[in-house]
């Protein structure tokens, strides 16, 4: 298997398991705490935050653990290198998200694919997605541009867990995950008609996050999201780290 194929596989599996965690924990929460939406959200957000942290730890050394098309796009826009990686990552992430939704549904003895009827629309929810995505992009690239990529797993997990609660949209912040969640008519679902508005808001949020990163961290002394363990070693030795594919 080529290095790019291996990284794409990591992105597909990681994104898929993230969607499985989001949907699966939502289904479990709905069954364990019927009638208590607040408790359901607490259970769903806690499981998602922990799962995301673990998945970043597993897949980060392989692919950078983007699991998110806007993160891959932001990485390319900031570096202008390795455009082929982005072309491979994005379909892998979407395919993984679809597979993750199917897996979650099947684990709970539901039809493999059901179209969600959960409408999530309106300016307030779109603003929530803009805020959630802008914060996520800013966090990730603030860490990588300051040599603190090792903190990404707990930091990103904590941010997403918190953003479930402080954003009106419960922080999807991910176009691939949004598409995956259209395929389950459960607590975590989103109606297909609502997905375009969420994705548009996520793209706007990513753009705002990128602008903030460029203003706050104009220099980029370290590589971006691939091979963080190599980045840290190069940084400690004082050498200019090598970017994958160079």
pLDDT given for residue 220 in this prediction: 59
* Domain positions in the chain: 3-237
pLDDT exceeds cutoff 80 at 156: yes
Q: What is the pLDDT of residue 85?
A: 76
pLDDT at 172 over 50: yes
Could you report the per-residue pLDDT of 102-145, keeping only the tens digit for each? 999 999 999 999 999 999 999 999 999 999 999 999 999 999 99
**Fold for domain 3-237?**
Glycerol uptake facilitator protein (1.20.1080)
In the numeric block, which tokens belong to residue 68? Answer: 């998110």
Q: 158 CB contacts (<8 Å, ≥6 apart)?
A: 49
- The owner of tokens 């220099």 is 219
Among 82-91, 139-148, 151-160, the range scoring the smallest mean pLDDT is 82-91
CA distance 144 to 159: 16
Q: What percentage of the chain has pLDDT greater than the value 70? A: 88
CA distances from 100 to 13, 173, 227 (A): 8, 17, 25
């Amino acid at each position: 298997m080529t290095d790019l194929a291996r990284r794409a596989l990591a992105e597909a599996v990681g994104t898929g398991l993230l969607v499985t965690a989001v949907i699966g924990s939502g289904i479990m929460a709905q069954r364990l705490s019927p009638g208590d939406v607040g408790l359901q959200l607490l259970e769903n957000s806690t499981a998602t935050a922990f799962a995301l942290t673990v998945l970043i730890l597993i897949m980060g050394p392989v692919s950078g653990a983007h699991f998110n098309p806007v993160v891959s796009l932001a990485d390319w826009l900031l570096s202008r290198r390795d455009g082929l990686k982005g072309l491979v990552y994005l379909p892998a992430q979407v395919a993984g998200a679809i597979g993750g939704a199917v897996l979650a549904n099947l684990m709970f003895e539901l039809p493999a694919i059901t179209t969600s009827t959960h409408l999530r629309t309106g300016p307030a929810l779109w603003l929530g997605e803009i805020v959630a995505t802008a914060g996520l992009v800013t966090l990730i690239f603030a860490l990588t541009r300051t040599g603190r990529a090792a903190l990404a797993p707990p930091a990103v997990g904590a941010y997403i867990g918190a953003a479930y609660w402080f954003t009106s949209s419960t922080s999807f912040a991910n176009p691939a995950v949004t598409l995956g969640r259209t395929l389950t008519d459960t607590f975590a679902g989103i109606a297909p008609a609502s997905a375009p508005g969420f994705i548009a808001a996520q793209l706007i949020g990513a753009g705002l996050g990128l602008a903030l990163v460029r203003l706050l961290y104009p220099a980029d002394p370290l590589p971006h999201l691939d091979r963080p363990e190599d980045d840290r070693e190069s940084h400690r030795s004082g050498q200019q780290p090598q970017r994958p594919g160079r």
